[in-house]
Chain A
Amino acid sequence: MAHSSIRGLRIAITGGTSGLGLALVRRLAEAGADVAFIARGRAGVERVCRERPDAHGIVGDVSEKEEIYPIAIQVLGALGGLDVLVNNASSLGPVPLALLADTECEDLERALATNLLGPFRLTKALLGSLAATAREAGAPLVVNISSDAAVTPYAGWGAYGASKAALAHLSRIWDAELTAEGIRVLSIDPGDMDTPLHELAVPDADRASLKNPDQAAAEIVDLIAARVARAPEPEATP
């Protein structure tokens, strides 16, 4: 489904070199969005940049406090402003998955740093730009990628599920608080996808039963397009 409303949107995606993030980079760039993507590995960033020279690749780790502002500056430098932030980068916590009672504290901390603190910090650093977009009659949107593990207590998914549950609730509260600023914050469960992260979690999964990340990306692109389409028209100038 083509979306003319995606064209020209300034969109940043974390975890943009594999799985759902990469699928989003491809689909959104294809639809004419101005896309910046962030990932930890320089080799992966350069590989995606070769495939999509129209996208801006940024090397950075959202779980590291010191890297948030350098990432934000590069996003805003590349795009000149921001319409949509997709917090997609995720950490499983312990690999292989472990019962909570067997989970090292450091593994839980890593899951929280990537899945909760990183999205909080990056969104906060970019909130001024999203609010500026709203003042200019845009329809700024933050999409936080969640999981059914945020709702259902699957054994072995404790660190991941708890961090994603916190992210989902943070999204709901932030969405309520930012209504006055015209910024939406949504939490989305894309479904069980055939991604490197899922492969780490469930190495022997029946891949045929898993959703293609490209399908999940298409659904998120639809959601972004619907949100933008509902935005109010700029008021007429006198």
Chain B
Amino acid sequence: MIPAAVAVQRPSDARLMVIDTSGQVGHKRRTDFPALVHSGDLVIANDAATLPASLSGIHLATGRSIELRLAGRRSLSQQVDTFTAVVFGNGDFRLPTESRPRPPAFSVGDSLQLGPLRAVVREILEHPRLIEVKFDGSGQEIWEGLARHGRPIQYSYLSAPLALWDTWTTIASRPVAFEAPSAGFLLDWRLVDNLRARGATFATLTHAAGISSTGDARLDAMLPLPEAYEIPLRTANAIDAARRRGGRIIAVGTTVVRALEDAAASDGFVRAGRAVATVRIGPLTRLRIVDALVTGQHEPGTSHYELLRAFHDDPVLCRAIEEAEIHAYRTHEFGDSLFIVRGQKIAWQSFITTSDIPRRRLSEPASASGQTAGRSG
């Protein structure tokens, strides 16, 4: 597969590979997506807008240039002073992350000057480049600093730097994602209308999609990091209603799968409210909520590909990879798409599903508090 090198969200020639419930692989145009949705289905997308999460600056103790990539928050509350972040050495988007110089060694208490923003290192987490930072100043000063100094996280395979508008989906709402929930690039308002015209329901959740790559094998193996999300009460109700009428739950993007399966991890029911997703979805995960997923073209070895293994056994996915090679599907954020319907996995019958037990909840367990996205906090 080849990376899509131009940042166009809905190229007219975009394609859609389809893996049906029996594991058959087909090829369609991406504009055919609404025709795959049935009356009664519920389509759920991630409406997170993308933050300008890349902050260039100086590690004051050494005077060295760094790039800080914001990568996580403990909750989607209005408080925005504390983030998990991944540190990179100096360099721009033309240098692949794995070729970037290593950043200086950080210590707790170190100060960082990031344009107009000042931050202090609060904690070194499970890797020397994974830290928790706290920004100085009021919420308004932090938002202004991020808005004016931050840039969207860049990708070396693109021919030109990304502007923030390249990274916001049509439905982008609260700016909480660290990288774009790029499966949602296929959505525009006409498509949402078409889904409704077909008798399907459209709903959203907000999931702070984390970063996709760090250029470090050990750090990449930790992805996805815990991700904060919020499920509106109406979306939770829509899921119950769709299941009662026998409709399918179709996720737009892997982040939606993660949020829904995390929210249902304890008893199989999606709770409304805020939580932090810690589940890692892979071949041993029994999906409790999501019946189908529309996503990008993912390559083996990535956490996104691992998630696909919850939908079908490896022989099916291997066939899909072969087909993607033969037909030169484009991969990465602005590439072609995949629609995968959950099959009857053999793996489920022979393993106990330990991987879908949450490792730890960082804060605010999901609760049916009636809070809805946007109005709370």
Chain A residues at the B interface, C-beta cutoff of 8 Å: 8, 10, 56-59, 68-74, 76-78, 80-82, 125, 127-129, 131-133, 135-138, 177, 180-181, 234-235, 237-238
Contacts and interface: CB of A to CB of B under 8 A. Distances in A.
A47 to B, nearest CB: 16
A78 B140 contact: yes
Interface string B86-112: 000000000000000000000000000
A128 B375 contact: no
Contacts of B240: 238
Contacts of A59: 144
Interface in B111-168: 139-140, 143-144, 146-148, 163-165, 168
A76 B175 contact: yes
A133, A177, A235, A237 pick with most chain B CB within 10 angstroms: A237
A219 B35 CA distance: 47
Contacts of A125: 165, 168
B148 A238 contact: no
B315 interface: no
A130 to B, nearest CB: 9
Interface string B228-267: 0000111001001000000000000000000000000000
Interface residues of B, number: 42
Contacts of B171: 128, 131-132
Given A129-B374, A135-B232, A238-B237, A80 B147 contact: no
Contact of A73 (B175, B189, B237): B175
Nearest to B370: A237
B370 to A, nearest CB: 7
A216 B140 CA distance: 29
Contact of B193 (A73, A132, A136, A180): A180
Interface of B: 47, 49, 51-52, 78, 80, 139-140, 143-144, 146-148, 163-165, 168-175, 189, 192-193, 196, 203-204, 232-234, 237, 240, 370, 372-377
Contacts of A135: 203-204, 232, 234
A58 to B, nearest CB: 7
Nearest to B193: A180
A17 to B, nearest CB: 16
Nearest to B149: A70
Nearest to B80: A77
B174 A76 contact: yes
14 contacts: A59-B144, A68-B165, A69-B147, A69-B164, A73-B52, A77-B139, A80-B377, A125-B168, A128-B172, A132-B47, A132-B171, A133-B374, A136-B374, A180-B196
B375 A56 contact: no
B374 A74 contact: no
A57 to B, nearest CB: 8
A132 B51 contact: no
A4 B33 CA distance: 44
B143 A77 contact: yes
B139, B143, B171, B376 pick with most chain A CB within 10 angstroms: B143
A55 to B, nearest CB: 11
B373 A128 contact: no
Contacts of B139: 77-78
A119 B85 CA distance: 35
Contact of A77 (B163, B175, B203, B232): B175
B147 A128 contact: no
Contacts of A133: 374
A81 B189 contact: no
Nearest to A136: B372
6 smallest A-B Cβ distances: which pairs? A81-B374, A77-B143, A70-B147, A132-B173, A69-B164, A128-B172
A82 B174 CA distance: 9
A206 B193 CA distance: 51
Contacts of A56: 140
Given A77-B143, A80-B174, A128-B49, 19 more contacts: A10-B375, A68-B165, A69-B164, A69-B165, A73-B52, A73-B143, A76-B174, A77-B139, A77-B146, A78-B139, A80-B375, A82-B374, A127-B170, A128-B47, A128-B173, A181-B189, A181-B192, A235-B234, A238-B240
A80 B140 contact: no
Contacts of A76: 49, 173-175
A234 B139 CA distance: 31
A228 to B, nearest CB: 13
A135 B372 CA distance: 10
Contact of B148 (A70, A181, A235): A70
Nearest to B78: A80
Contact of A74 (B78, B147, B165, B169): B147
